[in-house]
Amino acid sequence: MVTHSDNKTVNSGDLIKLDIFDLNQHGQGVGRHKGMIIFVEDALPGETVKVKIETVKKNYATGVIKEIVIFANDRVEPLCSLAGRCGGCAVMHLDYKAQLNWKQEHVASLLDRTGPTGWNRDKLLSIIGMDNPWHYRGKVQIPFSGSSDKPLAGFYARRSHQIVDGEVCFIQHPIADLVRATIRNYIRDSKLKPYDEKSNTGTVRHIIVRTGFFSGQVMVILVTRDEDLPALADLTDKLRMKISSWEPEPNNGQFSDFPEDILQRGFELSSLWLSVNDRRSNVVMGERLKLVFGQEYMLEEILGIKYRISPRAFFQVNPYQTVNLYQEVINMADLQGTETVLDLYCGTGSISLLLAARAAYVRGVEIIEEAITDARLNAETNNINNVEFIAAAAETWLPEYLSGGGTADAAVIDPPRKGCDAELIRALCEADIPVLVYVSCNPATLVRDLVILGSSYEVISVRPVDMFPHSDSVECVVRLERIRN
């Protein structure tokens, strides 16, 4: 069926020739045809492409490449054969240095358009990228589908829940590929049916693999629709053997950043869990957790702090860049050892504990009680006593804390992708806190919040950090200072 645009400039099914002049925030090439903007997957600035139009909206259309007539200088051959099909890596076909430049410019352009108080391009520091942008993910969720004879295990195709089957992923730790293959064989041998979303039938839904790059510990979570599974002891033995025997391919530069002591010591299965999810939903983990083998947590170490990570706990996915991200938070906080610091949206206390070594006292606030339990255990594990963790919504706790006479010399804000709660921003604007450090995983909500904070705070510096090479994501750390009239 052909869809016609309002101004008749382009129709679905049309084959057009297009010059690409930009990348949008999702890594799609941007071209213009007779005044209409066209977004094209996998196209790069500087390229001329033949495009088949797929969808037509009022102000834009989307298309797919049928032929590249002129190639961009920054185009590279993706390492992964599934690039372009799998939804995990939007820009693997773009040279990594060019990826960093694109992300840096994306952040700068957003700030230019919104203009928060104090912003100019001199405030933007160079993006922190990776020397070796491969095999960096310490956590991965892999969905299953297909049949018991031929289970599919991979990642979702772009903007769909159709699984692109695969054996190797070049951005996750290779341990996860070993686990994927072992679970795939377990499904075949046990004649278990992978879960089917449409019919709500089948057993095995996902696996979640968490790998401690600096500890060598591995947690595996098998997400299933049923609790009673066969041969779990045998599965445990196979996972332990596969994980403990893994070693990187010799002379493979993709592993050049792996810590030498861990490579020599090796990896071990620290725990195997069942997460029972019998809901007809695309939510990954279920409410029930059953420990099949090992301890109730795994350990990871960042900048000298040991962290206990439970199955549901949030922890940064890229351990190498987490070191750089947290070091930037430390640098921007610029503590002298006498300050009282608030860590809002503190999660399991990862930033709080690092700041505690550099401050007089730290209060971490997080609404998820399980995360606060982990944070307190993390403080105990590291013998850190000048930190307090409070289970509360930051937007309700902060006004109460301030009205009760509480003070702070600095506050760290590390919200989820949706950004800060409006009530929290209002409380921060009314508070007399000299320094804010905002850690953001979503530049769009970051600039929105910075504009609102601009009534009381000015931007001093912005540092982008590339936590997810080959994706369209970029994190930022921002220092703001209270405006003194």
HSE (CB half, 13 Å, CA atoms) of 172?
Answer: 23
The active-site residue, picked from 86, 169, 441, 476, is 441
- Provide the residue type at 99 as one letter: Q
Residue position matching structure tokens 């490579």: 263
Of 392, 381, 329, the C-alpha closest to 355 is: 329
In the block, residue with structure tokens 């977004």:
39
Quote the tokens at residue 434: 């000299």
Locate tokens 């679970």: which residue? Answer: 183
Contact 52, 63 (CB under 8 A): yes
Q: Is 441 in the active site?
A: yes
The rounded distance, in Å, linking the Cα atoms of 134 and 357 is 32
> Measured at the alpha carbon of residue 146, what is the angle toward residues 140 and 151, in degrees to the nearest 5?
65
Annotated catalytic residues are: 441
